[in-house]
């Protein structure tokens, strides 16, 4: 997949997700949990694909969700938080 396609899919997913779920958690643990949930879905989709029970398309969807949530995590980091 071309990088332009990958990034377009991720930006589209961020836009969709921000409209569908505008409230992003305010604490880092719950923010990270959202990213981790999507990463878990990516792993499940990959396992399903490996066992001929899933599709490449489903892996792509979950990888896009994972990237989009990681970017939302970064977008929402408070500037006032301590940077160590
Ligand atoms: Mg997902």
* Per-residue confidence band for 78, with pLDDT thresholds at 50, 70 and 90: confident
pLDDT of 79: 56
pLDDT of residue 83: 54
Q: Which of 59, 40, 38, 37 is nearest to 50 (CA)?
A: 59
- CA of 80 from ligand 1 middle (Å) equals 30
CA of 35 to the centre of ligand 1 (A): 9
| Contact between 63 and 38 (Cβ < 8 Å) | no
Q: Percentage of the chain surpassing pLDDT 70?
A: 93
Residues 6+ away with beta carbon under 8 Å from 1: 60
Query: What integer is the mean pLDDT of 58-74?
Result: 98
Which residues lie closer than 8 Å to 28 by C-beta, 6 or more apart?
Answer: none
**pLDDT higher than 60, residue 84:** no
Distance 61 CA to ligand 1 centre (A): 7
- Give per-residue pLDDT as tens, 10-21: 999 999 999 999
């Amino acid at each position: 997949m071309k990088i332009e396609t990958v990034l377009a899919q991720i930006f589209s997913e961020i836009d969709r997700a921000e409209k569908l779920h505008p409230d992003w958690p305010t604490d880092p643990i719950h923010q990270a949990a959202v990213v981790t949930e999507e990463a878990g879905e990516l792993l499940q989709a990959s396992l399903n694909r490996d066992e001929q029970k899933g599709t490449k398309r489903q892996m792509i969807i979950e990888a896009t969700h994972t990237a989009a949530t990681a970017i939302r995590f970064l977008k929402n980091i408070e500037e006032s938080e301590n940077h160590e």
